[in-house]
Chains A and B, each alone.
Chain A
Amino acid sequence: MTQRQVNVMGMTITEKILAKASGKKTVKAGDLVDAKIDVIMCHDITTPAAISMLIEKGIDKVFNRSKIVVTPDHFQPAKDIKSAELHKRLDQWAKRQKIKYYYKIGRAGVCHALLPEQGHIRPGEVIVGGDSHTCTYGAFAAFSTGVGSTDLAAAIATGQLWFKVPASMKFVLNGLLKKGVYSKDVILAVIARVGTDGALYRAMEFVGPALKGMSMEARMTITNMAIEAGAKNGIIGFDAVTKKYLDGHLRDKKSYKVFESDKDAEYAAVEEFDCSKLEPMVAMPHLPSGGVPIGKCRGKAMDQAYIGSCTNGRIEDLRIAAKIMKGKEVAIRTIIVPATPEIWKQAKDEGLFDVFYKAGCVISAPTCGACLGGFMGILAEGEKCISTTNRNFVGRMGHPKSEVYLASPATAAASAIEGKLTDPRKYL
């Protein structure tokens, strides 16, 4: 039906979702729209401030208590008195407003792993969250973007936000990934090519045969890092893999609307990648665009390995790391952070914890933790960390003179064993 509505010029999937959300037949890049929000993600760092603003402005209300999902994650369990105060404010508000989906500690997890897993993310919908990596949910053919506390407050109170419809860039992922090369390597290669502002203000639409072979977990790693190229959102079309995941996870099974880009949709740029030629990538400090093939950086000594986060803390990631670590011992501090309680349990039930324990790793509770330099693995001056996270800015994981090297769980696991940047393919 949507196809027939457009007879002048085709629309991208991002344009179609924003058109629907703003009650318009068509929109084009650059249009300002007021979009209705379907899901709002709230966590412990940016939401307490939003709550305070709403109270201060005398508009302390929620537009729909069933469309807000709350989970503390960044500093959970509370790392100090101040973060405990943030949690307290979040908790009191969630209870007072009777938020339907409030994941308290014990069920709380890294937001961008938790929301899809618990079935809150649906194709064709508009999701905002007080976190820049909210773009993750675009893997489900949804429009999803990160906002600050004021936008979050406005969305909580009114259920809508203004957006400038972004121009789209198409990323064609050709070829199939070789053994030992993962979706993390793909997105690091993409960002290395376009730069950290290469997709500024734009939608990054990922298409192509390489995606077909990727699980939803792997696809989320790609859309998760769209913000690292400056994008407003990352998006991947719906297919059988999406459907299967949703059938297994959606809590509200009512039908959802699947949009796809028209053949004559307009793109600001098209970038082609031959994924079959990709090698494992490592993003050197201090920008996510610093990706180089492992062949060009292997051997560099590391002090710590960190496997977790909204980028790569899902069960598939832990399985890959465990496969490599099985029967081996790590040479450096290695921290494993399952992203949600369900992933934690699954990893335990599958025996992955035994592998990590025997290898000499420490296993943490679900938290964003050290990814953003919060706690649970902070770096000292001069230390280097191979990490499956998404940012390697100055001081990101600790001391301003520490260094973060971004890579896949496989590369992080192999590097943990050898204590230096290591090509994971020798262990597979």
Chain B
Amino acid sequence: MAKAHVYKRYHINTDEIIPARYLNADDEKELALHCMEDLDTGFVKKIKPGDCIVAGDDFGCGSSREHAVWAIRGAKVQTVIARSFARIFYRNAINCGFYLIESDDAVEKIKDGDEVEIDYGSGLIKDRTSGINIGFAPLPDFALEIIKDGGLLEHIKKATTD
């Protein structure tokens, strides 16, 4: 079961997600070692494969570095649930085939350490710790298509071969 790691902060930015001192590499595994380092030095140690991050408004603001998505994905985070996402980060995640969830409700109700189960198809988060079910709006169709194809480049390849 996935555990929720809650950071009730607004504007968690790309410098906190993956500091520029590590941008001399673009290998996902290497970036993952420093994921969220300037926000929480203990993050990488406490995250288990499939866990999720829960945060406030404007998650991922700042740089266009896709390294931020790669670091999070490389750390085996399943998804990020936030009240809103910065534009380039959101777009990068879709382009990488990485699902993000926008939900005020989830951010309000999910507590740090809660066990959650996410059904992306029906748009439902089941908080097993509190017993609350939280609905969320699925991503728009064009974004789902890109994610389904495994990212933008696969999507383009498919479109040109179809």
Contacts and interface: CB of A to CB of B under 8 A. Distances in A.
Given A57-B153, A132-B64, A196-B61, A49 B96 contact: no
A16 interface: no
B38 A150 contact: no
B79 to A, nearest CB: 18
Contacts of B58: 196-197, 200, 230
Interface in A229-254: 230-232
Given A151-B152, A287-B11, A395-B15, A146 B88 contact: yes
B86 A150 contact: no
Contact of B13 (A80, A157, A374, A393): A393
A71 B58 CA distance: 30
Interface in B133-154: 142, 151-154
Nearest to A229: B61
A148 interface: yes
A157 B157 CA distance: 11
Contact of B23 (A45, A150, A151, A197): A45
A148 B95 contact: yes
Interface in A46-66: 46, 48-49, 52-54, 57-59
Contacts of B16: 393-395
A130 B88 CA distance: 10
Interface string A94-132: 000000000000000000000000000000000000111
A56 B20 CA distance: 25
Contact of A154 (B25, B39, B153): B153
Given A150-B153, A154-B152, A394-B16, A197 B62 contact: no
A59 B88 contact: no
B92 A151 contact: yes
A230 B58 CA distance: 8
A108 B15 CA distance: 25
B19 interface: yes
B88 A391 contact: no
A86 B22 CA distance: 12
Nearest to B22: A82
A149 interface: yes
B87 A201 contact: yes
| Main secondary structure on A side of the interface with B | loop
Contacts, number: 128
Contacts of B157: 57-59
A74 interface: yes
Interface string B13-57: 101100111011110000000000011000000000000000001
A32 B61 contact: no
A148 B20 contact: no
A408 to B, nearest CB: 21
A80 B24 contact: yes
A227 B89 CA distance: 12
A147 interface: yes
Contact of A46 (B39, B64, B84, B152): B64
Contacts of A396: 15, 20
Nearest to A378: B21
A248 B115 CA distance: 62
B23 A147 contact: no
Given A197-B58, A395-B16, 14 more contacts: A57-B157, A83-B24, A85-B24, A132-B62, A147-B91, A149-B92, A151-B95, A158-B156, A287-B11, A372-B63, A373-B21, A374-B20, A394-B39, A396-B20
12 contacts: A59-B157, A148-B64, A148-B66, A150-B151, A150-B152, A196-B58, A200-B84, A232-B87, A372-B63, A373-B19, A374-B23, A391-B15
Interface of B: 11, 13, 15-16, 19-21, 23-26, 38-39, 57-58, 61-67, 69, 84, 86-88, 91-92, 95-96, 142, 151-154, 156-157
Interface of A: 32, 45-46, 48-49, 52-54, 57-59, 74-75, 79-80, 82-83, 85-86, 130-132, 134, 146-151, 153-154, 157-158, 162, 196-197, 200-201, 227, 230-232, 287, 372-374, 391, 393-396, 400
Q: Lowest 4 A-B CB distances belong to which pairs? A: A148-B66, A82-B24, A148-B92, A150-B95
